[in-house]
A and B are shown apart, each in its own frame.
Chain A
Amino acid sequence: MSDKPQEINLSVNGTAIIAKPGMTVFQAAQTAGIFIPHYCYHPDLSIAGVCRMCMCEIEKNPRLQISCNTMATEGMVVRTDTDKVKDIVQSVLELHLINHPLDCPICDKAGECKLQDYYQEYGLYKSRIEYETKNHKPKAVDIGTIILDDERCILCTRCVRFTAEVTKTHELGIFNRGDRSILRTYDEKPLRNDYTGNLADICPVGALTAKEFRFKQRVWFLERNDSVCTQCARGCNVTVSVNPDTTKLYRVEPRRNPDVNQSWMCDTGRWNTHYVSDANRLTSPQKQVEGKIIEETWETFFKVMASNIQSAPKKVLVGLSTYLTTEEMADCLEGFSGLGVTHFTWIVDERTVEDRKAYDGILKHHDQTPNAAGFLQLMETTKTSWLKHEEVIKKLQAKEFDHFLLLGLEGVTMPGAAELLIKTPKETSITIHATTRVALFEKATWLIPNASSFEKSGTMVNALGLMQKLVASMPWQFTSRDSHAVVFGIKEGNDRAVSPTGRFQTVFKRLSDEAIFPGARMDWKKMPASGVNIGVVGRAEGIKYAKG
Chain B
Amino acid sequence: MPIDSDSISSSVILPDEKKIFFKHIRKENLHTLSGYESVGGYSSLKKAFAMPPDQIIDEVKKSALRGRGGAGFPTGSKWGFVPFDSGKPIYLLCNADESEPGTFKDRVILEKNPHSLIEGIIVSSFAVRCHKSYIYIRGEYVHAGKIVEKAIAEAYAKGYLGKNILGSGHDLEVVLHRGAGAYICGEETGLISSLEGKKGYPKLKPPFPAISGFLGCPTVVNNVETLCAVPWIIENGAEAYTQYGKGQSKGTKLFSISGWVKTPGTYEVEMGISLKAFIDECAGGMKNGAKLKAVIPGGSSTPPLTASEVDVACLDYESMLKFGTFLGSGGVIVVSEHQCLLKLLEHLAEFYWDESCGQCTPCREGTGWLYKMIKKIGRGEATSADLESLKKTAKSMMGTTICALSDAAAMPVLGFINKFPEEFQAHLDQKGCPMKQCGGSAH
Contact = CB atoms under 8 A, between A and B. Distances in A.
Asked if A and B are interacting partners, one says: yes
B399 A180 contact: no
Contacts of B182: 177
Contact of A178 (B206, B357, B389, B401): B357
B356 interface: yes
Contacts of B436: none
B36 interface: no
Contacts of A180: 358
A494 interface: no
Contacts of B369: 95, 98
Nearest to B200: A177
B358 A64 contact: no
B400 interface: yes
A42 interface: no
Given A96-B361, A133-B372, A49 B396 contact: no
B287 interface: no
B442 A178 contact: no
B359 A50 contact: yes
Question: Among the interface residues A53, A87, A92, A96, which one has the most CB atoms of the partner chain B within 10 A?
Answer: A92
B217 interface: no
Question: Among the interface residues B355, B369, B443, which one has the most CB atoms of the partner chain A within 10 A?
Answer: B369
Nearest to B388: A128
Interface in A103-149: 128, 132-133, 135
A154 interface: yes
Contacts of A88: 396, 400
A174 interface: yes
Interface residues of B, number: 32
Given A49-B204, A49-B402, A179-B365, A95 B358 contact: no
Interface string B350-367: 000111111111101111
A95 B367 contact: no
Given A92-B362, A155-B358, A179 B353 contact: yes
Contacts of B401: 52
B392 interface: yes
A155 B184 CA distance: 18
A529 interface: no
Interface string A74-101: 0000000000000110011001101100
A52 B401 CA distance: 7
B393 interface: yes
Contacts of A178: 353-358, 364, 367-368
A48 to B, nearest CB: 8
Question: Among the interface residues A91, A99, A177, which one has the most CB atoms of the partner chain B within 10 A?
Answer: A177
Contact of A95 (B199, B353, B361, B399): B361
Contacts of A166: none
A95 B354 contact: no
Contact of B396 (A48, A95, A132): A95
A71 B400 CA distance: 18
Contact of A63 (B204, B357, B399): B399
Given A154-B361, A177-B357, A95 B366 contact: yes
Interface in B343-390: 353-362, 364-369, 372, 389
Contact of A96 (B365, B393, B442): B365
Contact of A50 (B353, B355, B389, B402): B402
Contacts of A69: 204, 206
A133 B442 contact: yes
B361 A174 contact: no
A128 B389 contact: yes
B361 A50 contact: yes
Contacts of B399: 63-64
Contact of B364 (A47, A91, A155): A155
Contacts of A50: 359-361, 402
A179 B367 contact: yes
A96 to B, nearest CB: 5
Interface string A155-179: 1000000000000000001101111
Nearest to B369: A98
A432 interface: no
B241 to A, nearest CB: 32
B346 to A, nearest CB: 15
Nearest to B357: A177
Contacts of B354: 178
Interface string B9-32: 000000000000000000000000
A135 B369 CA distance: 10
Interface string B192-235: 00000001000010100000000000000000000000000000
Contacts of A91: 362, 392-393, 396, 400
A51 interface: yes
A173 B199 CA distance: 10
Contacts of B392: 91
A47 B206 CA distance: 11
A225 interface: no
Contacts of B365: 95-96, 98-99, 179
B362 A179 contact: no
Given A95-B366, A179-B365, A52 B358 contact: no
B204 A174 contact: no
B204 A179 contact: no
Contacts of A64: 399-400
Interface string B171-186: 0000000000010100
A181 B364 contact: yes
A55 interface: yes
A173 B358 CA distance: 13
Contacts of A47: 204
Question: Among the interface residues A69, A95, A132, A155, which one has the most CB atoms of the partner chain B within 10 A?
Answer: A95
A53 B372 CA distance: 24
A50 B358 CA distance: 9
B368 A55 contact: no
B358 A176 contact: yes
A55 B358 contact: no
A64 B396 CA distance: 11
A57 to B, nearest CB: 12
Interface string A180-198: 1100000000000000000
Interface in A22-54: 47-53
A88 B366 CA distance: 13
A71 B207 CA distance: 11
Contacts of B361: 50-53, 92, 95-96, 154-155
Contacts of A71: 206
B24 to A, nearest CB: 41
Nearest to A55: B400
Contacts of B359: 48, 50, 155
B396 A179 contact: no
Given A132-B442, A177-B182, A95 B362 contact: yes
Nearest to A157: B359
A149 to B, nearest CB: 17
Nearest to B365: A95
Question: Among the interface residues A50, A69, A96, A132, which one has the most CB atoms of the partner chain B within 10 A?
Answer: A50
Given A95-B364, A128-B389, A177-B357, 9 more contacts: A48-B359, A69-B204, A91-B362, A91-B393, A92-B361, A154-B361, A178-B355, A178-B357, A178-B367
Minimum-distance CB pairs A-B, first 6: A91-B396, A181-B358, A178-B356, A95-B365, A179-B368, A49-B204
6 contacts: A50-B359, A69-B206, A95-B369, A177-B355, A181-B358, A181-B364
